[in-house]
């Protein structure tokens, strides 16, 4: 049975998610940072982690952003095939929600109209939107504003099939090692394996929206996530890049079928706030 959803509702949800994601740390990230203080061995590292907690507390109390870079708006729309949108164009509704959210929330506008001419759009639109059609009559919205300190440290590797799982490990560790302090550690690492050039990158981006501590259901991928987290933390980059045992809070991996001739691997890094908000309507 077809269910109608008015696009005005989409706009309102997106607007509210802009506020929520930028003002409050998600529960999984909050718990991960608190646990990190117990794990960190460096006194300086512990001090930095506690300062991050102070920053988050002040942001919540004062209703100000948890990071000055309030990000480019990334939206994942999982749309049930029995949903009919009415009231206007869906993409326009999403961007209107972003515009309202960033304007009314006094969030920093960081998007430029042209990558070379660099004129600011002044409302943080357009958003980066990924659509998928699924069974059912629900709309699942994941809003994940992405700051560019960590985004600029992300990498994609077009490996050969013969590189195998060891090649994947080397690629991830190379990306993190090269990023060093520039990704505002402790970080969350999203990894996409498979597909093609652009699919691997989307897989990695979406992996960042999975809660910390929630592992892949594929046994070998689950083990790889745990192994890579240990190896990343063994790099010693530490909180703020000043050394320590907690360089990353999680390594989340998504996989997808790929061509017989390739092994694409994307590494999308996010800083310690790793903003992500989920709503189902």
Residue 1 has pLDDT above 90, yes or no: no
**Predicted pLDDT at 52:** 95
**Predicted pLDDT at 232:** 98
Mean pLDDT, the chain, rounded, equals 97
The pLDDT of 152-164, averaged and rounded, is 98
Percent of the chain with pLDDT over 90: 99
129 Cα distance to chain centroid: 13
Nearest to 157 by CA among 46, 262, 28: 262
- The predicted model scores a pTM of 0.96
Collapsing DSSP states into helix, strand and coil, what is residue 139? strand
The pLDDT of 155-178, averaged and rounded, is 98
Percent of the chain with pLDDT over 70: 100
pLDDT band at 61 (very low <50, low <70, confident <90, very high): very high
Q: Which residues of 77-111 are buried (b: 16+ CB within 10 A; e: fewer)?
A: bbbbeebebeeeebbebbbbbbbbbbeebebebbb
For residue range 220-242, list pLDDT tens digits in order. Answer: 999 999 999 999 999 999 999 99
Encoding tokens for residue 47?
A: 């001090």
Decide if domain 3-21+66-145 falls under CATH 1.10.10.
Answer: no
Residue 170 has pLDDT above 90, yes or no: yes
For residue range 7-56, list pLDDT tens digits in order. Answer: 999 999 999 999 999 999 999 999 999 999 999 999 999 999 999 999 99
> CA geometry: angle at 58 spanning 54 and 61, to 5°?
140
- Compute the distance between CA of residue 129 and CA of residue 96 in angstroms, rounded to an integer: 13
Residue 195 has pLDDT above 90, yes or no: yes
Nearest to 108 by CA among 67, 74, 152, 55: 67
- Compute the distance between CA of residue 276 and CA of residue 208 in angstroms, rounded to an integer: 8
- Compute the distance between CA of residue 16 and CA of residue 96 in angstroms, rounded to an integer: 12
**Predicted pLDDT at 239:** 97
Residue 209 has pLDDT above 90, yes or no: yes
CB atoms within 10 A of CB 201: 20
**Predicted pLDDT at 112:** 98
pLDDT band at 83 (very low <50, low <70, confident <90, very high): very high
């Amino acid at each position: 049975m077809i269910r109608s959803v008015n696009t005005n509702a989409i706009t309102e949800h997106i607007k509210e998610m802009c506020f929520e994601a930028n003002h409050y740390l998600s529960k999984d990230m909050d718990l991960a940072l608190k646990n990190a203080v117990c794990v960190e061995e460096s006194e300086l590292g512990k001090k930095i982690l506690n300062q991050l907690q102070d920053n988050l507390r002040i942001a919540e109390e004062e209703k100000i952003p948890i990071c000055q870079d309030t990000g480019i708006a990334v939206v994942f729309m999982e749309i049930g095939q029995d949903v009919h949108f009415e009231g206007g164009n869906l993409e326009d509704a999403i961007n209107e929600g972003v515009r309202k959210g960033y304007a009314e929330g006094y969030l920093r506008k960081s998007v430029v109209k042209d990558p070379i001419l660099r004129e600011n759009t002044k409302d943080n639109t357009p958003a980066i939107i990924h659509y998928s059609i699924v069974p059912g009559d629900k709309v699942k919205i994941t809003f994940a504003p992405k700051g560019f300190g960590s985004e600029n440290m992300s990498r994609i590797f077009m490996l050969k099939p013969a590189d195998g799982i060891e090649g994947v490990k080397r690629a991830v560790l190379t990306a993190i090692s090269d990023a060093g302090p520039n990704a505002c550690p402790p970080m969350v690492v999203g990894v996409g394996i498979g597909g093609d050039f652009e699919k691997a990158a989307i897989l990695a981006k979406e992996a960042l929206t999975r809660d910390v501590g929630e592992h892949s259901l594929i046994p070998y991928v689950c083990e790889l996530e745990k192994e890579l987290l240990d190896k990343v933390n063994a790099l010693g980059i530490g909180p703020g890049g000043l050394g320590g045992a907690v360089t990353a809070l999680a390594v989340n991996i998504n996989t997808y079928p790929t061509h017989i001739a390739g092994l694409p691997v994307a590494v999308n890094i996010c800083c310690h706030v790793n903003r992500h908000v989920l709503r189902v309507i």
